[in-house]
Amino acid sequence: MKFSDYMGDWLYGENGYYATYKNIGKGGDFYTSVSTSKFFGGTIAKHIISLVDEGFLSNNATICEIGAHHGYFLADVIEFIHTLRPTLITTLKFVVIERFDSLQEFQKSYFEESFGDVVKLAHYKSLSELKCKNAFFIANEIFDAFPCELYYKGKSARVDGHEVIFDVDDDWVEQKAKKYHKDRGEIALGYEAFAQEMALSCKKFEFMSFDYGEMHARPDFSLRVYSKHEVTPFFDENIKRDELFAKSDITYDVTFAHVKDAFLEAGVEFVELKAQMVALVDMGILELLEILKERADEKIYKQELEKIKILIMPNFLGERFKMIRFRKNKS
């Protein structure tokens, strides 16, 4: 089979890694910014409020998380909106795009436990089902989870019994490889369709996503497997792919130029690419921390300060993770 089908089965097949609920954080296979600190979602909440104040978002806009998994991220956003601008909780619409029924049920339960009947959460299985006039879309680590093809010096990969063989001719993959100056590495599938779906789903929106990677492609394979906080390169000679298949996360570095081009082709404006550290500081994470310092005791403040350091320090998540932002402002 093509490598993209193999990776799709690994992550999203009937028994795939993301088909059922998985712990993220200390008890899982990896950490994310969401699992590190509620202030990650809090900073997005502050940004959403600023978009309402400047008039880009209406007070009845749709706030939509794509690929929410636990639902923690959107819940953190809502919690901080309630703290900073409580009137918006009753006017904004909250939506999750989640393809798996089991995860939808987990998210519904978590929201009921967290907010009772104060917050109404709507679910859609894909962006193509959502139609709205004004929205803010948010995603965390979504582009690295799109299936990819593997490319090596003119040939694409297929998989036979977990063995990767480079002997497939694929003109589309080769064209993308040449466009992004890769003679080897990952070529993501689905960015173009995803951008088109979002562009068609809403007349006016901002989309923000956080992921690891660079604007330009790295010169080698980045594909790797995360299992219980251990990282194994996919081409490590000692890797046991048959044992890791569907039981661990498989991911790669994002080429943000590919993401950018996909949205530009869909008629969506590229706004910026920033290191997570810069993006969170610019959106006011340190101001939120100052509010906490005024309202909470010193012990709680110091605990949150240490978590926030992980989000923004260059030697942790601050530099390796990037924020990319797009806008559509026309019908």
The secondary element (H helix, E strand) that includes residue 243 is: helix 241-244
Query: For 165-169, which contacts have Cβ atoms below 8 Å and span 24 or more sequence positions?
Result: 168/2
Domains of the chain, each with CATH number or no CATH: 1-21+148-188+219-252 (no CATH), 31-145+190-213+254-331 (3.40.50.12710)
pLDDT of residue 26: 46
pLDDT category at 20 given cuts 50, 70, 90 is: low
Kindly provide the b/e burial profile for residues 210-228, where b requires at least 16 CB atoms within 10 angstroms of the residue's own CB: bbbbeeebeeebbbbbbbe
Rounded CA gap, 132 and 9, in Å? 32
- Report the share of the chain in percent with pLDDT over 70: 95
Total Cβ atoms within 10 A of residue 122: 12
- Per the model's pLDDT, the better-predicted residue between 32 and 325 turns out to be 325
pTM: 0.93
Sequence-distant (6+) residues with CB within 8 A of 243 are none
| CB distance 169 to 152 below 8 Å | no
CB–CB of 185/119 below 8 Å?
no
Looking from the CA of 295 toward its CB, the CA atoms found within 13 Å total 8
Lowest mean pLDDT segment, chosen from 17-26, 54-63, 200-209, 276-285 = 17-26
Min mean pLDDT across 30-39, 101-110, 275-284, 307-316 is at 30-39
Q: Determine the Cα–Cα distance for residues 243 and 286; give it in Å rounded to an integer.
A: 43
Helix axes 285-295, 38-54, angle to 10 degrees: 110
Residues 24-68 have pLDDT tens digits of 444 444 345 666 889 999 999 999 999 999 999 999 999 999 987
Kindly write down the DSSP assignment for every residue of 19-88, as one continuous string: SS----STTSS---HHHH-HHHHHHHHHHHHHHHHHTSS-TT-EEEEES-TTSHHHHHHHHHHHHH-GGG
Region 290-302: mean pLDDT is 92
